[in-house]
Chains A and B, each alone.
Chain A
C-alpha cells in the first residue's frame, strides 16, 4: 500500500476515534445536564416545602 493511501487510512481511523471521543464527551455532558437539572428541581422542591 503506498504512503498516501496509508496516510489517508490512518487519517480516517483518527477521525473515527476523534468522533467517538466527542460522542462520549457529549453523551456525558447531556447526562450531567439532566442530572444537574434533576438535582436543582429536588433542591428547589425541598426549599419550597421548607
Chain B
C-alpha cells in the first residue's frame, strides 16, 4: 500500500514538474493575444466574484470549490470512482447553477443590452438610462419637498461606490423601486419604519429604519439634532449622499464627505442631485 502511495506521489511530483516546465515555455512564447485572453479572463472572474458576493452565494462557491479540490485530488491519485461521480455532478451542476440564478442572469443580460454596468460602459442606449436616473432624482426631490413642507423628519442615504451592507443589516429590507409615495409613506411619523434612514441604490429603496453611525471626528453644530449628526457620521465613512429633512424646521440639508450643506430649496436640491447622481449630466442644460 505504501509503495502504491509512493508511486502516486512520484507521479504527482512528475506531473507538477512537467506543468512548471510547460509554464516556463508558455511564458517565453507569450503573445498579445494571450495578454488579451488573460485580461478578459480577469474581467470575467471579477464579475463572477461580484455577482456571487452580491447574491450572498459565498457558501455555494465554497461548496463548489471543495468539490473541485476533491475532483483534482481524485484525478491526480487515480480515484476513478470518486472522479466518475464528481464528473457527473459537475455536468449537472453547470445546468443547476443556470436554473438557480436564472432571474439574476436575465437581469445581467438585460443590463448589458440596455445600458452600462457600474464602472464599465458597454454598447447601449445611454439616454434611456439617463432618463431613468433623472426620474429617480425627481421622485426623491418631490418626496423631500412634501416632507419639508409638512415638517416630517427624514433621512435618505443614497449609496454610491462605498457599499453600505453593514448599515443595511441594521434596517428592514424593502427592495422596492424609488417612488415618491413610498418615501413619504416610510417617513410618516406613525409608520413603524419611520425612525432611522432609508438607503437607496441604483433606483431601489434597499432598506428602511437603518441606524446610521454618529460622527467621530467632524464637529456638528450643537443646535442640530441626532438626525443631522447621523447623516454626517455616515458621510465620514462612505461617499454616500445623505439628504436630511429637519422635523423642527423643515429645512432640507445634505451631508457629503463630512460636510453639511444646509438650506436647500426644492430646485437647488434637484440641481445638486442631478450633478452628483446623473451620469453625464450637463449642468448648463435641462434634462428631457
Contacts and interface: CB of A to CB of B under 8 A. Distances in A.
Contacts, number: 48
Interface in A1-50: 2, 4-5, 8, 15-16, 19-20, 22-24, 26-28, 31-32, 35
B38 interface: yes
Contacts of A35: 22
A23 B26 contact: no
Interface residues of B, number: 20
Contact of B49 (A2, A5, A15, A31): A15
Contacts of B238: 4-5
A23 B45 contact: yes
Question: Interface SS of chain B: helix, strand, loop or mixed?
Answer: helix
B110 interface: no
A20 to B, nearest CB: 5
B84 to A, nearest CB: 19
Given A24-B38, A27-B41, A2 B22 contact: no
Contacts of A16: 42, 46
Contacts of A5: 162, 237-239
Nearest to B43: A19
B230 to A, nearest CB: 16
Given A2-B237, A23-B41, A31-B26, A15 B46 contact: yes
User: Nearest 6 pairs between A and B by C-beta?
Assistant: A23-B41, A19-B45, A23-B42, A19-B46, A4-B237, A20-B42
Interface of A: 2, 4-5, 8, 15-16, 19-20, 22-24, 26-28, 31-32, 35
Interface of B: 19, 22-23, 26, 34, 37-39, 41-42, 44-46, 49, 162-163, 236-239
